[in-house]
Amino acid sequence: MCMSDSEFDVVVIGGGSTGTAVARDCAMRGFRTLLLERDDIASATVGTCAGMISSGLKYRSEPDIMKMCSTEVVHLNRIARHIIMKNPILTPFRDLSDVGSDMEYVESYSEHAEERDVPEMMFLTPEATIAIEPLLHPDVVFSVYYEEFFIDPFRLCLLQALDAKRHGAEIKTYCEVIGFETVNDVIQGVVFYNRITGTTEKIGAKIVVNAAGPWAPKIAGFSGAELELRLNKGAHIILDRRVVNVGISVKALDGRYIYLFPHENTTLLGTTALDTWEDPDSLVASFDEIEYLMRSIETYIPSIRDARIIRTMAGVRPLVADWKVPEGKVTRGYQVIDHENGLISFTGGKLVMCRHMAEAVTDIVSKKLGNDSACTTHEKPLPGNEADVDVEALSAEYGVSMHALERMRARRGTEMTKILELTKDHPEWKTTICTCEPIIEAEIRYAIREEFPQTLNDLRRRLRLGTGPCQGTFCTYKAASILSEELDLQGDDFLVDILDFRAERWKGIRPSMRGEQLAQEELAQGMYSCVGNLDQSDVDYDLKPWEEGV
């Protein structure tokens, strides 16, 4: 074991929305902070969520949580507006009897609408409804209109991590916590396996925050503590481009609500909610989940099957362990559990409340370590949100198309000028690498240098590389060669990374593959097998659980 004499005030385990928010808050309050993530930032649950920073309207039985959600939306709009989009949303009804007690939503939503700068819920006539969304079933009798905000969950986590770093925290990805060092059952240090160096390391820690999402019970177990979660699977179907003009939320076949939300340049259809005991690492969307979503939305958008499904994604909600109630009745709040052994864990929570969760736990940390500096995470902007960006002016100045820059702006805000500066010395870096997003070479180089990715999948999370309709048919090799050059990867690493990236795409593509995506996949296969000869490659690569053997 490689011993390190560094000692941290706080070690945060998990680089999802929660862990990165905690690391940021701790670092901003002056604690020596280390974040350990076994994979990449935002590589687990948070990356499969819809990114809705919701008003919390579904939690009308929990008024405090609704209030908290609303306040968090205001904060996020202050600190990260460059990665936030507003979605107007319609909930259409075909039958008045479908409405039931749902009208209570109207009141609960409207209660905090003003502070979020959105209107109260409104009712629309069938004519107005169809004019706004002609894909809707002509039998709609009325609809309810409201507005919600959506954030890029990957960028949020990454920006929180980068901001933590700027405030002195250390962020270590590909470092999996495998145990604790304890004295009298009290944690003194954290033991982790560094997947990049292939070594086991140990560091000292005064307090450890367990933000491992669905894996939190395992982490607690390392310290001898017990922690229970109610794991609940959720799947999304991702459609090519924005196929609806506004978000559509409808009552599903089982009476829950599901939605079709324009998200960035795609549309998300989700979600399911199934109690699960599967391994969260190898989960894929099931046939039943896909059909449930399709059939449910079909009752309101009859032509939905004509739309092109590009892939699916599935994740696990780490809910508070309330049992004997349906999933929808489980509190959406979070709990902070102090195991009294140097470890503090979370259960429950949501993306929208990650900053709030971090504040709560950092308050506890402060108390324990005797620090009384106040939380400022809701006031200080995240990187890139310092000012507005004039895309037209930048396009004229640097000679990159406005659309490429508008997409870059949505990822990076003011940070984008640093990328464009690179093109002054390297005009050839204006080349488009990912055609669908699009992404230029300079941004890939910048991300590799400044945002600590190790793999193509890490680049995808930072840049939306390979997330468009062609699902990486063309960008993979190009991006891989840039990554190899920057990180000095050897030939086999290069191929394994390409295989990993393809495998990860395949995980989402395979369950829903049909229609137009079949033609796309045929072309991708041609590219990778017939042109790239990847199927004949003899590199050392282990098939993933969702891949079939030869």
Partner 1 sequence: MNEDEAFEYVKNTLRKEKITPYHSHELEVVKSVERCINCGLCISHCPVVAAVGVDRFSGPRSIAVELSRSPPEFWSTADVVYLCTGCGTCREVCPKNVDIPEVVNLIRARIFEHRPDLVPKSLHVLREVLTEYYLAFEPWEDKEEKNESRDMRLERLGLPFVQDKILDKAEVLLYPGCQAEERAQEVREAAKVILDHFDVDYTLLDDMSCCGLPSRLMGDHETERVLAKQLKEKVKKLGIKTVVTTCAGCTSSLSDISYRNEWGVPAVHILEFLAEEIGLEKIDSATKGSTEFSDVHVTVHDPCHLIRHTSRQITDFALDILRQLPGVKVTESEANDSCCGGGGLVSYHSDDVAKAVVKENMEAIQKTSADRLVTPCPLCTAQIESNLFKTGSSVEVDDLTVFIAQRLPKKR
Ligand X SMILES: Cc1cc2nc3c(=O)[nH]c(=O)nc-3n(C[C@H](O)[C@H](O)[C@H](O)COP(=O)(O)OP(=O)(O)OC[C@H]3O[C@@H](n4cnc5c(N)ncnc54)[C@H](O)[C@@H]3O)c2cc1C
Binding mask 195-234 for partner 1 (x = CB under 8 A): ----------------------------------------
Should residue 14 be labelled a site residue for ligand X when binding is judged by CB under 6 A? yes
Should residue 330 be labelled a site residue for ligand X when binding is judged by CB under 6 A? no
How many Å apart are CA 129 and CA 135, to the nearest integer? 10
How many Å apart are CA 458 and CA 375, to the nearest integer? 30
Name the residue nearer to partner 1 (CB basis): 115 or 120.
120
E runs forming strands in 195-304: 199-210, 229-240, 247-251, 257-263, 266-270, 274-275
Span from 82-90, 158-166, 250-258, 343-351 in contact with partner 1 (CB under 8 A): 82-90
Q: Which of 176, 406, 486, 493 binds partner 1 (CB under 8 A)?
A: 406
β partners of residue 315: 234
Place of tokens 């296969």: 525
Should residue 516 be labelled a site residue for partner 1 when binding is judged by CB under 8 A? yes
Rounded least distance, CB 43 to ligand X, Å: 5
Should residue 473 be labelled a site residue for partner 1 when binding is judged by CB under 8 A? yes
Q: Which of 27, 212, 227, 394 binds ligand X (CB under 6 A)?
A: 212
Should residue 391 be labelled a site residue for ligand X when binding is judged by CB under 6 A? no
How many beta carbons lie within 10 A of that of residue 489, not counting itself? 18
58 binds, among partner 1, ligand X, none (CB under 5 to 8 A by kind): none
Should residue 110 be labelled a site residue for partner 1 when binding is judged by CB under 8 A? no
Q: Which of 12, 17, 263, 362 binds ligand X (CB under 6 A)?
A: 17
Question: Helix, strand or coil for residue 16?
Answer: coil
Name the residue nearer to partner 1 (CB basis): 32 or 308.
308
CB burial string 25-60: b at 16+ within 10 A, e below: bbbbbebbbbbbbbbbbbbbbbbbbbbbbbbbbbbb
Residue 76 burial class via C-beta count within 10 angstroms: exposed 0-12, middle 13-18, buried 19 and up: buried
Name the residue nearer to partner 1 (CB basis): 403 or 424.
403
| Crossing angle between the packed helical segments 391-398 and 416-425, to the nearest 10 degrees | 10
52 binds, among ligand X, partner 1, none (CB under 5 to 8 A by kind): ligand X
> Which of these, 332, 319, 326, 232, lies nearest to 283 by C-alpha position?
232
β partners of residue 13: 36, 210
Rounded least distance, CB 289 to ligand X, Å: 10
Should residue 286 be labelled a site residue for partner 1 when binding is judged by CB under 8 A? no
CA 381 from chain centre, in angstroms, equals 19
> Which of these, 206, 213, 95, 112, lies nearest to 153 by C-alpha position?
213
Span from 24-32, 210-218, 519-527, 541-549 in contact with partner 1 (CB under 8 A): 519-527
- Tell how strand 84-93 and strand 2-13 pair up: unpaired
Do residues 508 and 311 touch, judged by C-beta distance below 8 A? yes
Should residue 131 be labelled a site residue for partner 1 when binding is judged by CB under 8 A? yes
Should residue 234 be labelled a site residue for ligand X when binding is judged by CB under 6 A? yes
Provide the binding-site residues for partner 1, judged by CB under 8 A: 85-86, 88, 119-120, 122-125, 128, 131-135, 145, 147, 240-243, 245-246, 262, 264-266, 306-308, 391-392, 395, 399, 401-403, 405-407, 430, 432, 435-438, 468-470, 473-474, 516, 519-520, 523
List contacts with ligand X (CB under 6 A). 13-19, 36-39, 43-46, 48-52, 54, 176-177, 211-215, 219, 234, 236, 270-271, 315-318, 349-352
